[in-house]
Structure 1
């Protein structure tokens, strides 16, 4: 702060969205509501800093300048003009700057002001730190008499708040890492789905998804059934010749599409159990992206296993409708392989939701016994 005659004012970054409306892109990165919450929080902290400056903060201009810089950095990161907004990371970075500004506000506050903010501080520390953590124990002890806080207790309080907010950011970054891993795996599976469809289109008779029920019964002439069509008459003397005339380039494509639709139904069911999330990273959407290509591949692989006799008694499918029905079953069955991913997603969201850890019960008071 350059002078002592005026309170700190918002930087030019605060109005970055409104001064250049033509530069605002049409796409919003991350939840728009979370972005507005953080911007509103910066305005609230700015007003509180102005109040601290007018009351007893004129001798701590260095801290006021740092807090002002943090708020301006938060506004700059959250503005549409900022370039690093991929995967909603700008919301997490903006939260870091806002938390730092709030820590500086606590350092500028007196005992009475800290006492009024103590419930929120205590809840934040209990949310992030375990009951046996010494910093949480110290904060709980300070909260019993916040009006008599000393300088050393203030430092303990600030250290606990900083660690608690660091833990919260770590949980958010853990959600981001999980979402990125799921998306990369889903992208790799999607590439595999495309390659299988292309190879099946150009080399449809190499590994056909067709069945010959007459071959199981030992007939001399064979009838071939494929996903999209079947041989009209059982006139072929050799299975290979009948396959060559019956297979179609669209066989693999049809099976993959059916498996993808079945996986989409399974994904909808899973999302219903997981529910929504307030994190800037969309975990349910990433899980749905993983299940769709997985369902397309499991439908193809399941039919190949049946054709190879891996499932006894299920090698003589005699109609295209039966092949499509099994493709639906195998596409939905991808849930068997992605169930562990769903469980991990629920664990990650539960850890990031900030469930408060149990509070240590106070020691029992000794009873007064009569002499």
Structure 2
């Protein structure tokens, strides 16, 4: 009987490595202290949550359920939430926090503001100043607040990803419909440009043809690809379970194709008379490329918003002097 290969994705690799670390830390804990019953309960929680994470990583679903899970992201977010609870439980199960405080403060500092009372309490914690139960509550509250911020950011990332997918489907349908209309009814969507002083030129170099609209769309998409390459070059690596860059590039390419057609219509309507003159087929095609690249003006807002969402999901360390 053939066995199915386990699915390997970036988020699974990260979660699996951290799950292995949780289990290693759990096995390295000191023997149970009869005077500290809370430690035993936290160890049980760690084992239970680790089992949930393992189930999310290895769960097999039907094709349709896989698509639904991918869209809703429930298995990804359930795995991360359970992993976070397991990590909290392992920390809380220890008999002290002296050796863990630097790492705990660094992790909490990635997500919580400097004046957040839970972060302030953790920063001011001095091992031995309070009973172990009080120290444990301070640590657990701070970690949960930090992880909650991360988990909510994952939800925001998924919502943005789904919106980008929906917008891409709509743009693809609109571009396809416009291309089909231009192909079946040549000249119905006028892509030829002319004026009193300049001859009329068409994208195909002759009278209106069925491929004119598609040719403009392809060149507009090519112009958008150039801006997508710039996006790829400046994009920071991210270990977020939701990667936006592919969907952002798709939006740029499809929008570039649409704007190229709209721009050529504007040139043909004389909107730019006195400013732009198109004297040849090469000039018209070049303008299609330029108009496709011009979508960068509109999608820069989308890129900035996606950057903020991804930074919340996976914040970068603060720069020197930034507080």
Q: How far apart, in 2, do the equivalents of 1:217 and 1:167 lie?
A: 62
Q: Give the secondary-structure state (helix, strand or coil) at the position aligned to 1:207.
A: coil
- Note if 1:347 corresponds to 2:302: no
| Residue aligning to 1:22 | 3
The 3 A distance-change label for structure 1 pair 359 and 342 is closer
Q: How far apart, in 2, do the equivalents of 1:159 and 1:358 lie?
A: 26
| Residue aligning to 1:138 | 121
Q: Give the secondary-structure state (helix, strand or coil) at the position aligned to 2:265.
A: helix
Q: How far apart, in 2, do the equivalents of 1:182 and 1:195 lie?
A: 20
1:82-121 Cα offsets, whole Å, 9 max, x none, are 565516664443221111012222332212xx21211111
CA contact (8 A) 2:192 2:208 kept: yes
Q: How far apart, in 2, do the equivalents of 1:270 and 1:43 lie?
A: 35
Deviation, 1:358, is: 9.4
TM-score (norm 2): 0.86
RMSD: 2.8
The 3 A distance-change label for structure 1 pair 249 and 315 is farther
| Residue aligning to 1:48 | 25
Gaps of 5+ in 2: none
Could you tell me which of 70, 80, 86 is aligned with 2:70?
Answer: 86
Q: How far apart, in 2, do the equivalents of 1:49 and 1:275 lie?
A: 33
Of the structure 1 ranges 152-161 and 43-52, higher mean CA displacement relative to structure 2 is found in 43-52
How many residue pairs align between the two structures? Answer: 312
The 3 A distance-change label for structure 1 pair 119 and 316 is closer
CA contact (8 A) 2:92 2:139 kept: no
| Residue aligning to 1:193 | 175
- Note if 1:124 corresponds to 2:107: yes
| Residue aligning to 2:44 | 65
Deviation, 1:209, is: 0.8
Deviation, 1:344, is: 1.5
Q: How far apart, in 1, do the equivalents of 2:236 and 2:23 lie?
A: 35
| Residue aligning to 1:101 | 86
1:25-74 Cα offsets, whole Å, 9 max, x none, are 6x64x42xx42232232233223333447343795654433321110110
- Note if 1:257 corresponds to 2:218: yes
Q: How far apart, in 2, do the equivalents of 1:261 and 1:270 lie?
A: 14
Of the structure 1 ranges 337-346 and 294-303, higher mean CA displacement relative to structure 2 is found in 337-346
Counterparts of 1:156-305 in structure 2, within 5 Å, are 156-213=138-195, 216-217=196-197, 224-230=200-206, 246-305=207-266
- Note if 1:313 corresponds to 2:290: no
Deviation, 1:315, is: 7.1
Gaps of 5+ in 1: 1-19, 231-245, 361-371
1:236-285 Cα offsets, whole Å, 9 max, x none, are xxxxxxxxxx2111010111011111110111112222333221211221
Of the structure 1 ranges 171-180 and 114-123, higher mean CA displacement relative to structure 2 is found in 171-180
Deviation, 1:311, is: 0.6
Structure 1 runs, 4 residues or longer, greater than 6 Å off: 357-360
Q: How far apart, in 2, do the equivalents of 1:358 and 1:99 lie?
A: 26
TM-score (norm 1): 0.76
Deviation, 1:350, is: 2.9
Q: How far apart, in 2, do the equivalents of 1:139 and 1:61 lie?
A: 23
CA contact (8 A) 2:182 2:210 kept: yes
Larger radius of gyration: 1
